[in-house]
């Protein structure tokens, strides 16, 4: 029997290994993403950007490998079910079993954070996208970078600037327990205090919160000028529903992640007008790459790109492509190229300082008449900030 079980195990493992042939014809690029689960509503924005890029690269004749040859790319995607623990296992699998040539990033800060140690262990460089983490920045890892300008400490400063412009003197701060929200809060609170903006309500809540009544009843009673919802997509939806039901009348209402996704505006129509959210990109500038990206995305997917997530994902592959063109697929050379290079992207030139984008300024978007406009920083704004007037 022992022998039987041994044979069974060996053959099953062999079958598993057989599923991962080492092909030289294509550059195999792997990633995992929240195709299902809590974060799934946000993931298509990023997947679309990846697929569009792969299509364009292959149409160009393939990925330029250090100027020596061009090879077509093949994306290998897994569903991590919104579970960071699964992402850890999948990236380990992509590296050790599927033996991919390159990695793309998953969706969201928790997943980026979780896989950082896998990347370190295997010394495998990966450019992050829809994430940022001061905690990780302080640990100085060498194989992950964040394209976004939305880092918690920079965001806090920008937010205070925006609040002062809007004449907001008191706020309620509602924070999702997930890392990005919490980190934002950690830097925002002292910044608010220093600016003399009073915090009337300070409430944390779990990622899978079902009912916000208790929190919003407090907010309504406190009558703040502004509501700062450090929210993710699911709870952003919940907030709009509940704030409308209870009648939150603050003139400034901000939701961290969610409103930039296309379906959000469609779902709430007029009720979402006036909501401010995170984002620093707009198709209206004079960046040629940016215009080309916007047109191609709209043509292929019949909808606008997500101004935050599609953009960050696109920037990450733009950088990867340019770094590989310089360094090829060798991991050490690639790491070197990414950390020291300057790259042309749809958000302008990007260069990294440690894990962080050292160039792009932090910004905010607002939904106005169903369209997203950059309202901060002032020198990039496509429309001035407007107060939120009711829920229509």
Return the residues of window 182-241 that contact another protein according to CB under 8 A: 182-183, 186, 203-206, 209-215, 217-218, 220-221, 234, 237-238, 241
Phi, psi of 349 (to 5 degrees): -70, 140
Q: Write out the two tokens for 189.
A: 């609170």
Select 186 or 333, whichever has its Cβ closest to another protein: 186
Smaller CB separation from another protein, 207 or 285: 207
118 binds another protein (CB under 8 A): yes
3-state secondary structure of 350: strand
> DSSP 3-state assignment of 89?
helix
Q: Segment contacting another protein (CB under 8 A): 85-93, 157-165, 298-306, 364-372?
A: 85-93
* Residues 254-273 as x/- pattern, contact with another protein by CB under 8 A: -------------x------
Of these, 7, 60, 67, 97, which contacts another protein (CB under 8 A)? 97
Angle at which helices 84-96 and 109-122 cross, to 10°: 30
Q: Does 89 bind another protein (CB under 8 A)?
A: yes
Strand partners, 171: 199, 226
How many CA atoms lie within 13 Å of 363's alpha carbon, on the beta-carbon side?
28
Total of chain residues touching another protein, rule CB under 8 A: 76
Residue 69 Cβ, how far from another protein at the closest point, in Å? 28
Element (H, E) at 157: helix 152-165
* Count of other CB atoms within 10 angstroms of residue 7: 10
Tell whether residue 85 is a contact of another protein (CB under 8 A): yes
Q: Does 323 bind another protein (CB under 8 A)?
A: no
Q: What is the CA radius of gyration of the chain?
A: 22
Question: What is d(CA 347, CA 186) in angstroms, rounded to the nearest whole number?
Answer: 27
Nearer to another protein, 141 or 341 (CB): 141
Q: State the Cα angle at 155 between 277 and 147, rounded to 5°.
A: 85
Nearer Cβ to another protein, position 245 or 353?
A: 245
- The tokens of 71 are what? 């090879």
- Given the rule CB under 8 A, which of 54-62, 66-74, 132-140, 282-290 is the region that contacts another protein? 132-140
Q: Count of alpha carbons within 13 Å of 128, Cβ hemisphere only?
A: 33
Shortest Å distance, C-beta 75 to another protein: 15
Whole-number minimum distance, CB 245 to another protein, in Å? 5
Residues numbered 277 to 296 that lie near another protein (CB under 8 A) are: none
Chosen residue from 58, 157, 177, 381 binding another protein by CB under 8 A = 177
The count of residues in the chain is 392
User: What is the distance between the terminal CA atoms of the chain, rounded to a whole angstrom?
Assistant: 72
Of the candidates 7, 13, 288, 295, which one interacts with another protein according to CB under 8 A? 13
Nearest distance from C-beta of residue 43 to another protein, angstroms: 9
Q: Please pick, from the candidates 31, 50, 53, 78, the single residue that binds another protein as defined by CB under 8 A.
A: 78
């Amino acid at each position: 029997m022992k022998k039987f079980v041994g044979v069974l195990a060996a053959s099953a493992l062999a079958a598993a290994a057989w599923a991962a042939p080492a092909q030289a014809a294509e550059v195999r690029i792997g990633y995992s993403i929240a195709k299902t689960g809590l974060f799934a509503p946000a993931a298509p924005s990023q997947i679309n950007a990846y697929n569009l890029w792969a299509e364009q690269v292959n149409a160009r004749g393939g990925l330029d490998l250090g100027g020596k040859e061009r090879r077509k790319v093949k994306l290998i995607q897994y569903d991590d079910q919104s579970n960071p623990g699964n992402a850890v296992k999948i990236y380990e699998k992509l590296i050790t079993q599927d033996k991919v040539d390159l990695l793309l990033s998953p969706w969201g800060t928790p997943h980026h954070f979780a896989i950082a140690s896998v990347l370190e262990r295997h010394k495998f460089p990966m450019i992050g996208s829809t994430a940022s983490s001061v905690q990780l920045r302080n640990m100085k890892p060498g194989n992950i970078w964040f394209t976004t300008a939305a880092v918690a400490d920079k965001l806090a400063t920008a937010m205070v600037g925006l609040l002062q412009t809007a004449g907001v003197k008191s706020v309620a701060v509602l924070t999702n327990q997930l890392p990005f929200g919490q980190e934002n809060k950690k830097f925002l609170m002292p910044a608010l205090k220093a600016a003399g903006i009073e915090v009337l309500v300070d409430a944390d809540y779990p990622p899978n919160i079902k009912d916000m009544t208790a929190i919003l009843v407090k907010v309504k009673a406190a009558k703040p000028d502004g509501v700062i919802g450090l929210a993710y997509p699911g709870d952003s939806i919940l907030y709009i529903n509940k704030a409308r039901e209870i009648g939150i009348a603050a003139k400034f209402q901000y939701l961290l992640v969610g409103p930039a996704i296309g379906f959000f505006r469609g779902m709430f129509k007029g009720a979402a007008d006036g909501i401010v959210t995170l984002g620093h990109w707009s198709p209206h500038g004079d960046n040629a790459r940016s215009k080309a990206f916007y047109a191609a995305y709209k043509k292929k997917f019949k909808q606008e790109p997500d101004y935050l997530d599609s953009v960050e994902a696109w920037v990450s592959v733009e950088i990867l492509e340019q770094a590989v063109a310089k360094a090829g697929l060798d991991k050490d050379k690639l790491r070197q190229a990414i950390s020291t290079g300057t790259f042309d992207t749809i958000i302008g030139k990007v260069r990294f300082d440690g894990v962080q984008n050292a160039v792009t300024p932090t910004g905010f978007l607002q939904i106005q008449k169903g369209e997203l406009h950059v309202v901060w920083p002032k020198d990039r704004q496509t429309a001035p900030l407007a107060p939120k007037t009711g829920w229509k």
